[in-house]
Chains A and B, each alone.
Chain A
Amino acid sequence: GDSVTQMEGPVTLSEEAFLTINCTYTATGYPSLFWYVQYPGEGLQLLLKATKADDKGSNKGFEATYRKETTSFHLEKGSVQVSDSAVYFCALSRNKLTFGTGTQLKVEL
């Protein structure tokens, strides 16, 4: 069946550091791929998405590229801020959403 694997956290970075959170998937066909973010005490929010191979999703300085050849959708940000501290979930969708385990990001001053 479909599955999503993402790196375990927590990831702790200093402000302005470069962020990469790895995500790989297993699925038949061509799923859509997503990154969701959950800030403390809030629900999951869609951060970005890509619906076909080589698409790049971007939002709030975050980017991820749909790589079919490596079945990956790694999340990157060039310069993180304290306000980016949250849990990030990679997910794919065919007929339902399948999530990764989530990666907690802590950004310190």
Chain B
Amino acid sequence: GAVVSQHPSWVICKSGTSVKIECRSLDFQATTMFWYRQFPKQSLMLMATSNEGSKATYEQGVEKDKFLINHASLTLSTLTVTSAHPEDSSFYICSKPWDAANYGYTFGSGTRLTVV
């Protein structure tokens, strides 16, 4: 299967600062990347879908100005949590489809964000 490298794996930041999370496709191009968030003891929730060269598509209830997604190249998608607050503390994970017809998705290893 395909390979997605996500980093950092964990980050602690102060309230009011911004944090950037990167997901790189290491083997072949990724025109689409999915971004998920997981709160403790809750499901992975799809936040947005990034598309290379165009605006991301956000799920209902996700603030576009707070969670900035950039997909400027075919190998890199980034999620920036702006003006982070403690309630943004969560586990963020990216995923790309590599065989959508057969439901093949590759996931990054996730980023644990803690805002203090």
Contact = CB atoms under 8 A, between A and B. Distances in A.
B and A form one assembly: yes
Interface of A: 4, 8, 32, 34, 36, 38, 41-46, 49, 51, 89, 93, 96-102
B41 A101 contact: yes
Contacts of B110: 43
Contacts of A100: 43
Interface stretch (B13-21, B70-78, B79-87, B100-108): B100-108
A89 B105 contact: no
B51 interface: no
Nearest to A43: B107
B31 interface: no
Given A32-B103, A34-B103, A49-B103, A41 B109 contact: yes
Interface residues of B, number: 23
Which DSSP category, helix, strand, loop or mixed, fits chain B's interface?
Answer: strand
Interface string B12-53: 000000000000000000000010101001111110000000
Of B41, B43, B105, most A-chain CB atoms within 10 Å: B43
Contacts of A45: 1, 107
Contacts of A36: 107
Interface of B: 1, 4, 6, 9, 34, 36, 38, 41-46, 93, 95, 103-110
Contact of A43 (B41, B45, B109): B109
A98 B107 CA distance: 14
Contacts of B108: 43
B95 A44 contact: yes
Contacts of A97: 34, 44, 46, 95, 105
Contacts of B43: 4, 98-102
Contacts of B36: 99
A48 B110 CA distance: 21
Nearest to B45: A99
Contact of B42 (A32, A41, A42, A101): A101
A41 B107 CA distance: 12
Given A43-B93, A43-B109, A99 B44 contact: yes
Given A96-B46, A100-B43, A43 B103 contact: no
